[in-house]
Structure 1
Amino acid sequence: MLPFINESQAKIVKRIYIDFLDRKGANRIARELEEEGIPNWNGKTKWYESSIRKMLSNEKYKGDALLQKTYTVDFLTKKRVENTGEIPQYYVEEHGIAKLDYATVITPLQAGLFVATVEVPSAERYGTLQTKG
């Protein structure tokens, strides 16, 4: 099944990235979205700084994937935990449809033109996984 992009939500995500590149912090972005009554992913107008930070560091917005963010520690109970280095993680570039023009929005962050307060996932930090193309 191909990923579906919600165009109205994509506009909000793009705005968040542009605001961040305009040197607005996650707290200010959340406050402005609330003041303007812009709905979040579940239709409410309450925005949280932590949600903005997660969006800014989500590799899926550029069509990539970070595999094994969590792993199963007990197959019987199906208990999963966050992977903090116990097992390898793999970064897959161009895994899906990019939800925004990531090259325009994020390249300045990776080039160090702005002081980033969020981590931008990249293949350099994680191993890459070769996929059949």
Structure 2
Amino acid sequence: MWLSQAQQLNLTDTTSQRSSLFLEQLPETLTPKETALLPNYPNPFNPETWIPYQLAKDANVALHIYAVNGTLVRTLALGYQAAVGIRTVVVPRIGMVRMNSVNAWRVQCISIHIQQVISLLRVRC
């Protein structure tokens, strides 16, 4: 949208031309090179945890959360999303985590599956 508006102005000064060039290249810098599941924050002992991820291509996205025994605990259908920057899904702790366990997150984007395993160890002093 911004690029087409800038081009319609048809300005010839150097600053305007540089700005148009910047707008042309902007989508390339915002689109991640690979689909990735990033480390969650804060740890799932908190009331909620944020799970960041990035998409290399636009896709339908679903987040699957598994218990240590491989049982599916929760699925969040996140819908169709554009591949722009880092996105985050907030997951409440309710019914998801047990003390001293391992859970796994998996983001599914069409045919791409990325999994991250997290260990949950609570140390009491």
Q: Same fold by TM (over 0.5)?
A: no
Structure ranking higher in strand proportion: 2
* TM-score relative to the length of structure 2: 0.20
The structure with more radius of gyration: 2
Structure ranking higher in helix proportion: 1
